[in-house]
Amino acid sequence: MVKDGGLVAFPTETVYGLGADALNPEAVKKIFEVKGRPSDNPLIVHVASIEEVYPLVKEVPEKAEKLMKKFWPGPLTLVLKKKSIVPDIVTAGMDTVAIRMPDNEIALAMIREAGTPVVAPSANIFSKPSPTTSDHVVSDLYGKIEVIIDAGATRIGVESTVIDATTDKLMLLRPGGLNLEEIEAVVGRVELHPAVQMMPIVNGPSRSPGMKYKHYAPDAKVILVEGSDERIVGKVNSLITRYKRCGLVVGVITMRKHGLYDADVVKFMSDLNAFAKGLFSAFREFDEVGVDVIIVEGVEERGLGLAIMNRLRKASFKIEKA
Ligand code: TXA
Ligand code: MG
């Protein structure tokens, strides 16, 4: 299918991907069309072994090599200097290419079967939350692509961590399923791109173009509440009261114990793993039941919390300080 230029949605350990032959520009073009994705946002190339990286890139710096050996297969994407064999449409004309080896047997078997590297963005319509079940893919892309492989819910639920590894001065471009702390334990300090925590990008074009778009957003308005632990419950409660009084249907996402909030729908996340795994699903479920406003308690930016907060800020209509 992939080798014939078709599009195949498949599971990875992070989210479902929409795969096409990375070396076939016509097939890659269809991905942008089907997703409604702007053409200046480059794609990640998926491989089934470390050896497949070398024909695609000019060099693999020492730290990049260390990271591949330690964390692949896994939720880590490395940006490296590309060779001309990688079509411009994959990289949005940039001279670098993002590559990862997913930790999912079906994904790896599919890439091996295709006999070619496979580009795969998340298999959602542009700006919708990333799909973590095949049902999500069906609701966004059914009838528009050749195949949807179902393998239940994905294990991690947020996308891969993206690191610029073109030089040994590493930079985190997108926090994701692999924690920064684990990466730094292997290769030392990694700089954070300002967009990771949504600080304004200081001069120049962004190094990961995908970061500038609003993403992951449900139809309901997301209000993110950040601030001191003692004040956050009071703040969330006053927001619930305020929006309910306007006649709006209010949803809450919280890691605090049940029964604290009098919202119409409350999603309880037992820990950061559950939060990451359930976040995009929760957004979609809130939309299905007609929630108008989703109030989300912020989490600490440690471990998976860095990726969760990045996605929440991107999805937010408004950030309230408690
Ligand atoms: O977990 C994942 O990474 C999933 C699964 C399907 O593998 N894929 C995914 O792809 O999240 P996508 O297209 O939704 O996100 C790709 C991200 C974007 O933020 C994009 O800007 C960045 O990777 N990216 C791709 N190529 C790049 C490059 N050459 N330089 C910098 N950033 C790049
Ligand atoms: Mg995406």
Residue nearest to atom 32 of ligand 1 (CA): 208
Q: From CA 284, how far away is CA 126, in angstroms rounded?
A: 14
In this predicted structure, the answer to whether residue 258 has a pLDDT above a threshold of 90 is: no
* Ligand 1 pocket mutation, candidates 34, 35, 39, 43, criterion most atoms within 8 A of CB: 43
Please report the pLDDT score of residue 41 as a whole number: 94
Element (H, E) at 141: helix 134-141
State the pLDDT confidence band at 228, using cuts at 50, 70 and 90. confident
Q: Say if ligand 1 is within 6 A of residue 98 CB.
A: yes
Residue 292 near residue 249 (C-beta atoms within 8 A): yes
State the pLDDT confidence band at 202, using cuts at 50, 70 and 90. very low
Residue 67, classed as helix, strand or coil, is helix
Please report the pLDDT score of residue 198 as a whole number: 77
For residue 257, how far is its CA from the centre of ligand 2 (angstroms)? Answer: 31
Q: From CA 5, how far away is CA 38, in angstroms rounded?
A: 20
Q: Would you say the CATH fold of 221-321 matches that of 8-196?
A: no
Element (H, E) at 245: helix 229-245
For residue 181, how far is its CA from the centre of ligand 2 (angstroms)? Answer: 23
- Point out the ligand 1 atom lying closest to the alpha carbon of residue 96: 29
Residue nearest to atom 33 of ligand 1 (CA): 208
Counting ligands in written order, the one closest to the CA of 276 is: 1
Which pair of structure tokens corresponds to residue 51?
């050896």
Q: From CA 241, how far away is CA 124, in angstroms rounded?
A: 33
18 phi/psi in degrees, rounded to 5: -110, 105
Counting ligands in written order, the one closest to the CA of 18 is: 1
pTM: 0.95
Counting ligands in written order, the one closest to the CA of 125 is: 2
- Point out the ligand 1 atom lying closest to the alpha carbon of residue 14: 1
State the pLDDT confidence band at 311, using cuts at 50, 70 and 90. very high
- Point out the ligand 1 atom lying closest to the alpha carbon of residue 46: 7
Once rounded to an integer, what is the mean pLDDT over residues 34-52? Answer: 96
Contacts of 118 (CB under 8 A, 6+ apart): 2, 17, 19, 20, 21, 22, 45, 46, 47, 110, 111
Element (H, E) at 267: strand 265-268
Counting ligands in written order, the one closest to the CA of 196 is: 1
Can you say whether the dihedral through the CA atoms of 218, 119, 13, 60 is positive or negative? negative
Once rounded to an integer, what is the mean pLDDT over residues 236-254? Answer: 97
CA–CA distances in Å: residue 120 to residues 28, 175, 202, 286, 296:
9, 18, 29, 27, 29
In this predicted structure, the answer to whether residue 211 has a pLDDT above a threshold of 80 is: no
For residue 121, how far is its CA from the centre of ligand 2 (angstroms)? Answer: 6
Q: From CA 248, how far away is CA 64, in angstroms rounded?
A: 49
Chain centroid to CA 220:
19
Residue 65 near residue 3 (C-beta atoms within 8 A): no
Which pair of structure tokens corresponds to residue 186?
């292997």
Best CA proximity match to 263, nearest among 254, 252, 248: 252
Q: From CA 240, how far away is CA 249, in angstroms rounded?
A: 9
Q: Say if ligand 1 is within 6 A of residue 76 CB.
A: no
Q: What is the CATH number of domain 8-196?
A: 3.90.870.10
State the pLDDT confidence band at 253, using cuts at 50, 70 and 90. very high
- Point out the ligand 1 atom lying closest to the alpha carbon of residue 90: 26
Residue with tokens 């079509």: 87
Mind listing the pLDDT tens digit for each residue in 153-197?
A: 999 999 999 999 999 999 999 999 999 999 999 999 999 998 898
Task: Show me where the domains of the chain are located.
Answer: 8-196, 221-321
Q: From CA 322, how far away is CA 223, in angstroms rounded?
A: 12
Q: Say if ligand 1 is within 6 A of residue 119 CB.
A: no
DSSP class of 298: -
> What superfamily would CATH give domain 221-321?
Threonylcarbamoyl-AMP synthase, C-terminal domain (3.40.50.11030)
